[in-house]
A and B are shown apart, each in its own frame.
Chain A
Amino acid sequence: AFFWLVSLLLSSLIWFIAVKASDPRDEPLQRGLLIFGVVFSVLLQEVFRFLYYNLLRKAIEGLVALSEDGCSPISIQQMAYVAGVGFGLMSGAFSMINLLADALGPGTVGIHGDSQLYFLTSAFMTMVLIFLHTFWGILFFHGCEHRRWWEIAAVVVMHLAVSGSTFCNPLYVGSLVPSYLLMAIAAVWAYLLSGGSAQNVWRFLLCKS
């Protein structure tokens, strides 16, 4: 979570400087700067995910050295999951806290003149992002572990796609539907990588032991 926070800080610093250095009345320029800021932030988040992976790798070596039976008490998959959850939770918190604070007072419709479904869609978007970060954590670490660069590239591309789809707002169909589809794909992929299979799901649903 801390790593995600640092990445957000750096990317927002860059965007802030860019905005202040430019003309605030130029609408297309501002929009362009926003797009640039989003892309830059996504890339920076993935970079920090990679840095975190390296950190954990070194930590596992240390844990193995300290343990009694030569195995680390926590596997890299567990670390991948936890890292993903951390990223997701922190991004979710940042997305929703301001909104929740504004939700207290009157005048909650769309806050700044947006649609009245703003709260609902923001909540769903945040939920999908948290899930996605979790699954991406698993995919990313697996890709780094087994040197499958196309998995890493897929994570980055998916992240860019989801963030880019939010520019369709207030046409919420354009942002929520693709995001949920991508989440379904990432979920299935991460599940398969974590040791699941369709047969297991079938056995789970039929409540077999």
Chain B
Amino acid sequence: GVYSKDYGPEYAHCNTTVWNPVGSGLSYEDFDFPIFLLEDANETQVIKQCYQDHNIPRDGSGPEYPLCAMQLFSHMHAVTSTVTCMRRSSLQSTFSINPEIVCDPLLDYNVWSTLQPINSSGKVEPDKEVIMVATRIDSHSFFWNIAPGAESAVSSFVTHLAAAEALHKASDVHLLQRNVMFTFFQGETFDYIGSSRMVYDMENDKFPLRLDNIHSFVELNQVALRNGSALWMHTDPVSRLNASVGAQVRNLLDILSSSSVGSNVTLEEVEYSQPLPPSSFQRFLRARHIPGVVLTDHRAAFQNRYYQSMYDTPENIGVQYPAGLSPEETLEYVTDTAKALADVATVVARALYRLAGGANNTSAIQADPKTVTRMLYGFLIKMNNSWFQSIIKPDLQGILGKSNTRRKNTGMGLIPRGSFLSLNKGTAWLFPRGSLQSPTPPFSSQLYDYAWVQGSLEPNSTSRAPYCVRSTVHLSKALSPAFELRQWGSTEYSTWTESRWKEIRARIFLVASKELEIITLVVGIIILVFSLLATYFINAKADILFSLPRDPGAVAY
């Protein structure tokens, strides 16, 4: 984060505000034994049955051997820390013919898109100003692949996408004075991998924008659990001490407040002296004092009781459907949460329009609750639904089919998100099936991204009506700069890595008591020694024992 002993020392180390007081920090503890989570009732039934058969104490005393035991395998190749395992991996890859890599840095992609297209391989002029809107798209929990992140991640990026869609409904978007960039950062849970990488790229001219181009920054963080109608605006008190930055922040806050007039959202400011909550904006502030605001549903401590927990489920944000609906109906059913998020998205979109220099009436800018509820259903309940199927590229369709439970983690496929953005904002050129030719766009091809998506199912048939989508969505690599710079012990950037691991499995069996095993071994050794001694003595005294041979040539060995 941005607060350290050099910048706002009174806010560093959570001195002023504790953001997640119910947090236990369990994920960051070091356990030297495997811990497994079993969700399938069939698997737990086997364990329960074995326990009932063998391990229950009978008649008050403890259970007797043989007892039921379980062996858990969860081998991780990496040890100690990132520095050690990266050093070992790099030695292997440098010197060995068959390198054995033990850990990998966390790597995925940020997704970004602009309202007015910019050339992603070129550079934007210094006088072109951009308003950045940012959310995170990753979540985390104690167990692998069980991190729904409903409140911590999904609520914010769904609102962000809905705001992007709403903003496109304004008639003069291509005439706006400032551009708007919708950014979705990946890896924020692990010390802001995505945002730190984007800042690094901006500083080193590897990104079309530079930090000077950023006019202001709006971030959405956990917006689903609003208390009443309040949405809180957090700002950084240290940068506001500067007069010009302070004035710009003031302007930003006023525009946001005025955009909420007439909606169900009341924008409130937190105390001036409260620091920013944990957010991607902090990484940008580290580099430049950009005026910015973070919108959340909590004033001080999180409203979310299950932050970064596997219990951050749709029920946590109130996404509930009446019983007896078919999957299609559930997809289309508009929940109250969806309406609430749509309200927030409307306010944000109108504020962005004003910030970008738009002067017209903003009543047309309205987020659609139907889109919001469909996105919530898709990202939280069931990914394999008809809407997602219709907007995804045909070769990526397998991603949807694999997961029909709620899963999300840092390594989640981003391409669906890219498809989303493009649908929410792009102009679609329809090419009927069969006449596919590469389009000859009037603009340079780095301005746009073209995707051929599956399309929806035609009624009463299994064939689809695909079409081509042109959008301004781009991906940018989200790998921590520490790995680019090979500073594995860096305290400046995130250095999280993931260990390589073998298959995770467990087996259940009966074990005998230790006493029995020792007895077996000791008896065997005694018999062995005894037999050796007996053999020796019989051999030595053979002529005494066998003194009456029947045949010549006595039996001797």
Listed in ascending order, the chain A residues whose CB lies under 8 Å from chain B are: 71-78, 81, 106-110, 116-117, 119-120, 123, 127, 193-197, 200-201, 203-204, 208-209
Contact = CB atoms under 8 A, between A and B. Distances in A.
Contact of B512 (A108, A195, A196): A108
Q: Considering the complex of A and B, which 7 residue pairs feature the smallest CB-CB distances, nearest first?
A: A107-B509, A109-B66, A109-B510, A195-B546, A75-B553, A195-B548, A109-B512
Contacts of A110: 66, 510
Contact of A116 (B66, B71, B507, B547): B66
A83 to B, nearest CB: 13
A128 to B, nearest CB: 12
A186 to B, nearest CB: 16
Contact of A75 (B509, B516, B544, B555): B555
B511 A109 contact: yes
A77 B555 contact: yes
B28 interface: no
A203 B542 CA distance: 12
A104 B52 CA distance: 27
Given A81-B555, A116-B66, A195-B555, A208 B544 contact: yes
Nearest to B67: A109
B60 interface: no
Given A78-B557, A81-B555, A120 B548 contact: no
B523 interface: yes
A22 to B, nearest CB: 32
B71 A78 contact: no
Contacts of B548: 195-197, 200
Contact of A196 (B507, B545, B553): B545
A206 B65 CA distance: 46
Contacts of B324: none
A117 B510 CA distance: 13
A124 to B, nearest CB: 9
Given A110-B66, A116-B516, 8 more contacts: A71-B553, A78-B555, A106-B511, A109-B509, A109-B511, A110-B510, A195-B555, A196-B546
18 contacts: A72-B553, A77-B550, A78-B557, A107-B511, A108-B511, A109-B509, A109-B512, A110-B510, A116-B65, A116-B516, A117-B516, A120-B520, A127-B527, A193-B550, A195-B549, A195-B555, A204-B541, A204-B545
Given A107-B509, A120-B520, A76 B551 contact: yes
Contacts of A209: 544
Contacts of B523: 120
Contacts of B547: 195-197, 200
Contacts of B541: 204
Nearest to B508: A107
A139 B520 CA distance: 33
B552 A71 contact: yes
Given A81-B557, A107-B509, A116-B65, A200 B552 contact: no
Interface in B472-525: 507, 509-512, 516, 519-520, 523-524
B551 A106 contact: no
B557 A200 contact: no
B124 interface: no
B63 to A, nearest CB: 14
Nearest to A120: B520
B553 to A, nearest CB: 4
Nearest to A106: B509
B554 interface: yes
A106 B71 contact: yes
B69 interface: yes
Interface of B: 65-66, 69, 71, 507, 509-512, 516, 519-520, 523-524, 527, 541, 544-555, 557
B542 to A, nearest CB: 10
Contacts of A107: 507, 509-511
Nearest to B552: A71
A116 B548 CA distance: 47
B545 A201 contact: yes
Nearest to A103: B520
A41 to B, nearest CB: 27
Contacts of A195: 546-550, 554-555
Contacts of A71: 552-553
A72 B552 CA distance: 10
A81 B550 CA distance: 15
B396 to A, nearest CB: 43
A107 B520 CA distance: 16
Given A194-B546, A196-B546, A106 B512 contact: no
Contacts of A203: 544
A191 B71 CA distance: 52
Contacts of A74: 553
Contacts of A106: 69, 71, 507, 509, 511
A72 B544 CA distance: 24
Nearest to A77: B555
Contact of A194 (B507, B516, B555): B555
Given A76-B551, A77-B550, A119-B520, A200 B545 contact: yes
Nearest to B551: A75
A81 B65 CA distance: 43
A200 B555 CA distance: 15
B300 to A, nearest CB: 52
Contacts of B510: 107, 109-110
A123 B531 CA distance: 15
